[in-house]
Amino acid sequence: MPIAFNKLIPLLLVCLVTQGCDNPSGAAEDDPNKTQKPPNIVFILTDDQNYDTLQALGNPNINTPNLDKLVRGGVSFTHVFNQGSWEAAVCGPSRKMLNTGRHLYRTGYGPSTAEADLFRAPLMGEIFQNYGYETFVTGKWHIDEESLRRSFSLGSDIFMPLYMGMSFQEDGGQFYPLVADYDGDDSNSANFATRRANKFSNDLFVDSAIDYLAGKANDATPFFMYVSFLTPHDPRQAPAAYLEMYPPATMPLPVNMLPEHPFDEGDHNVRDEVLLPFPRTEMAVKWYISQYYAMISHLDAQIGRLIAQIEASEFAENTVIVFTSDNGLANGQHGLLGKQNQYDHSVRVPLVIAGPKIDNNVTKKGMFYLHSVLPTLLDLANIPKPDSIDSASAAPLLSGTQDVLRESIYGAYKNFQRMVRTDTHKLIYYPILDKTQLFDMVNDPFEMNDLSDNPSSAKVIQELMHELEVLKREVGDPLNNDDPVASFHAYKKDWNLLHRFPRRDLYLKEP
C-alpha cells in the first residue's frame, strides 16, 4: 500500500458516513440526507472445522443450535476452499491468506527462502484501522507479532506464543491456555506478557469478546472484532457434559472410511495422521468423531453467548457477523485423520455471513477461496480494495447477481499434491509419484471411485491438467511437474515440531 494512503483517510471517512456502508454498490439511499454508520464487523474463526459440521447445513448427527440460528439469519456458502499449504500446519498459510486476501505463494509470509514471497501486503485489521475502525483480537493469531501490532488497536487473551497454532495437552491444552494482552501501545513492555489462564479456551475468548463489547457502550467508533478459536483442533478436550452428548458407539461412520489411505499421499506419517494407530478401526474412528463433535457443540454454545450479547446490545442493527474456519479435517475419511490432503473434507470450510441488508436463510454454492472473505468484508463496509488483494469479493453472491464466483478451484499441499476442481470433476495430481486421481463430483461427492484408469476419462484428465497449469500460474506456484523436488526447494520449510514433540499417538489412544 502506498505511504500516501493514510492521507486519504479523512476524506474517505466522510464518504463512509455520507454514502452508506451497508450498500456495497455505493448507490445512493432513498433518503440522500440520511447518515449511515459504518457497519461493525465480528469475524469468528474456528480451527479445523469441516464444512459439514452444522446441523442446519445437512448434518443431523451434530447439535449446533446457535450456528444453525446464524445460518437461518444469513447467507451460507457450501463450496468455499482453503487454497492449500506449503507446510504441515495448514492453518498457518490459511490465516496468512485470510488476512492478506492473497494467494498461497503471494502472502509475504512463506518460508524466508521463498524470495518471490517477500512482499508484505496490508492485513485485514490494518485496512479496517486505516479507515477509522477500532480493531480487537482475542484467541489464536498464528502469524508474527509485528503483523498483530499492525492489525489491531488492542486485544486480550491472545493465545501465545503468537506463531504457535495449537496448545498441546502437556502445555495446558484447551483447559489452561497460555495467553497475553495487547493495549495498542507499542512502547509498553508489558504487552504480550504471558500467563496461564484457568479457563477453557472457548469460554475465555468469548468472555474477552463480551468484555470488549461492554466497554464499547455508547462509543460511536465502528469496530472490527477478530475472535479466533483453538477448537475443534486437537487436543480433543471438551467439558464432560458435551462429551456425554456423543456416545462413541452411537456415532455413524463416514461412508468413505478406510482402514488406511491406499497409497502414501506424501506425508503419510505427519503428526495429524498418527493421532490414531494404523489401521483405523471402526470403533477408533467413532470415538474420534464423537470427541470432535463434542468440541464443536461446546464451541457452538460459546459462539451463541457472543451472538446473544451482540443481539442485546446497541450494535445489533448494524453489525455483520462472519463465521468460518481455516480448513477442514478428514476424521477417518479415506483412511486419513488430518488436513494434509486435497479431498473435500479437508479443503472445504463452512462460511456464513449475516447482517444488515443480507438475505436470511439462503444457501449458495459459491465456488471461491476462503481468502475472498477480506474483499467481501471491505465491500460490505464500502472500503476500497487495495491493489494487493488477489481474491475476488463474494459481494455479488450476497446481492444475488451471481451464484458462483469461480469456474475452477486450485489446491496444493507442499510439493506432494496439486488439485483442480470444477463444478463436475476433481483431479488430484501427485507430482512426486506422477499419479493422478479423477472424481466425478456430481455422482460421487464423497470421492470414493477414482476414474483415472478409465480410458473414457482421458479427455477430461487432459483438460483438467491444462487448467491446473493455468491456475498454477495465477497463484504463483513455483512447482515444475518434471522436477517437483528442486523446483519447490525454496518452499521446503524445515519443520522442527516433531523434534520438539515426538510422535503424539500416546495421548490419543482409543478407549
What does the pLDDT read at residue 285?
Answer: 98
Q: Which position has the higher pLDDT, 217 or 346?
A: 346
Write out the residue limits of the CATH 3.40.720.10 domain(s) in the chain: 38-407
Q: Which CATH superfamily is domain 38-407 in?
A: Alkaline Phosphatase, subunit A (3.40.720.10)
Please report, to the nearest 10 degrees, the dihedral formed by the alpha carbons of residues 450, 454, 459, 461 taken in order.
Answer: 30
pLDDT band at 401 (very low <50, low <70, confident <90, very high): confident
SS3 93: helix
Give the chain's mean pLDDT: 90
* Confidence category of residue 494, pLDDT binned at 50, 70, 90: low
Sorting pLDDT into bands at 50, 70 and 90, what band is 20? very low
Number of H helices, E strands in the chain: 13, 15
The single residue listed with the C-alpha cell 501427485 is 430
d(CA 506, CA 454): 42
Condensed to tens digits (0 to 9), the pLDDT of residues 236-275 reads 999 999 999 999 999 999 999 999 999 999 999 999 999 9
What is residue 18's predicted lDDT score, i.e. its pLDDT? 34
Is the model's pLDDT at 500 over the cut of 90? no
Every domain of the chain with CATH number 3.30.1120.10 lies at 412-500
pLDDT at 120: 84
Residue 509's pLDDT is 40
C-alpha–C-alpha distance, residues 472 and 497, integer Å = 29
Strand partners, 436: 429
Neighbour-count burial for 151-171, b at 16+ CB within 10 Å, e otherwise = bbbbbbbbbbebebbbbebee
The b/e string for 336-374 (b: 16+ C-beta within 10 A; e otherwise) is bbbbbbbbbbbbbbbbbbbbbebeeeeebebbbbbbbbb
Predicted pLDDT at 390: 96
What does the DSSP 8-state code read for residue 113? Answer: T
Asked if 109 contacts 141 with a C-beta cutoff of 8 angstroms, the reply is: no
- CA–CA dist 390, 109 (Å, integer): 15
pLDDT for 217 beyond 80: yes
Say if CB 88 and CB 271 are below 8 A apart.
Answer: yes
pLDDT in tens, 404-413: 899 999 999 9
Residue pLDDT, tens place only, 87-120: 999 999 999 999 999 999 999 998 878 876 778 8
Identify the three-state secondary structure at position 297.
helix
Alpha-carbon gap, residue 236 to 62, rounded angstroms: 16
What CATH architecture does domain 412-500 belong to? Answer: 2-Layer Sandwich (3.30)
- Quick one: pLDDT at residue 403? 83
- Position 10 scores a pLDDT of 36
Angle at 72 between CA 67 and CA 73, to 5 degrees: 95
Those residues whose C-beta lies under 8 Å from the C-beta of residue 341, and which sit 6 or more positions away, are 265, 330, 334, 413, 417
Q: What is the mean pLDDT of residues 178-182?
A: 97
Lookup: cell for 483:
522436477
**What pLDDT, on the 0 to 100 scale, is given for residue 484?**
95
% of the chain exceeding 90 in pLDDT: 83
pLDDT category at 171 given cuts 50, 70, 90 is: confident
> What pLDDT was estimated at residue 402?
86
